[in-house]
Structure 1
Amino acid sequence: MSVIGDYFIIFWGFLLIGLMAIGGFFMFRKFLKQLPKEDGKSDMDWERYYIDRTKHMWGEEEKLFLEELVSPVPELFRDVARQKIASKIGEVALQKDQEKISQETIIQGYIIATPKRDHKFLRKKLKQKEIDVTPYEPYFELSQANYAANWRENYKK
């Protein structure tokens, strides 16, 4: 066997191990999301709950706006991101006792559901659509790490 063949086999072995590690990481994250919390429901249970409770509140325009917002997410992860963001939007809408999902609620839910590093795209998209971000600045200032944990209390402020 040649030296090139040996290097190819070593490279292929590392590649397979790396890909399996990446896949295992994402499977483990999904497993953690399905573990029940103190209230007996998992994060995924709550996501499904809020989506089911607010499914009838979404108009066609709002769905298209949400699709625009999640468009920069890689296709492989887009469904997961859409579900997480849509559930947070639904939670905000129920908290506000809305009859219909509004553009304001979509923006607030998007900010709450996404980490701070993703807010740059949202700001750019809102600027393109000529939507003033000033009313949303308090949400942008709070990072997801300290906002998502107790967002209801922060939202009321």
Structure 2
Amino acid sequence: MSVIGDYFIVFWGFLLLGLMAIGGFFMFRKFLKQLPKEDGKSLMDWERYYVDQTKHMWGEKEKLFLEELVSPVPELFRDVARQKIASKIGEVALQKEMDIISEDIIIEGYIIATPKRDHKFLRKKLKQKNIDLTPYEPFFNMSKENYNDNWQDNYKR
């Protein structure tokens, strides 16, 4: 066998191992989200709970607004992002005892649900829609680490 054939086999082996490692990483992350926490429910259970509890609160206009906001997310991850963001929006709406999901609640929940690095896309999209960002600056100024687990406590301040 030639030297090029040997290199091809080695390259192909590393490529397959790399792809399997990437797939395994994402499968493991999903597995971790399914593990029950102290309250007996997993993160995914809570996400489904908040979405189910607030389904009736969403209007068509609000659904389209959320779709527009998640449009910069790559299509492969968009469903997961939409689920996570919609659940956080629902959680905020329930915390505030709202009857409907408003544009303000969507923006607030979106900011809380997304990491700081994604906020530039949200800012750009909101500026395109001529939405004033001033009321939302406190949420933008928080870092993901500050409101990941105990965002309610930080929110009340």
Looking at structure 2, the residues matched to 68 and 22 of structure 1 have their Cα atoms a distance apart, in angstroms, of: 29
Which residue identity does 1:75 align to in structure 2?
E
Q: TM-score normalized by structure 2?
A: 0.98
Q: How far 1:80 moved relative to its partner? A: 0.6
Corresponding position: 1:36 with 2:36: yes
Corresponding position: 1:108 with 2:108: yes
Q: How far 1:7 moved relative to its partner? A: 1.3
Q: Alpha-carbon deviations, 1:58-115, whole Å to 9, x = none?
A: 1111111111111111111111111000000000001111111001000000110010
Corresponding position: 1:59 with 2:59: yes
Aligned to 2:4: 4
- Unpaired runs of at least 5, structure 2: none
Aligned to 2:15: 15
Aligned to 2:89: 89
Looking at structure 2, the residues matched to 17 and 58 of structure 1 have their Cα atoms a distance apart, in angstroms, of: 44
Identity %: 83
- Tell me if structure 1 keeps the 8 A contact 2:146–2:154: no
Q: How many residues align?
A: 157
Which residue identity does 2:154 align to in structure 1?
N
Aligned to 1:133: 133
Which residue identity does 2:37 align to in structure 1?
K
Q: Alpha-carbon deviations, 1:39-64, whole Å to 9, x = none?
A: 01000000000000001111111111
Aligned to 2:150: 150
- Unpaired runs of at least 5, structure 1: none
Q: Displaced runs of 4+ in structure 1, greater than 3 A? A: none
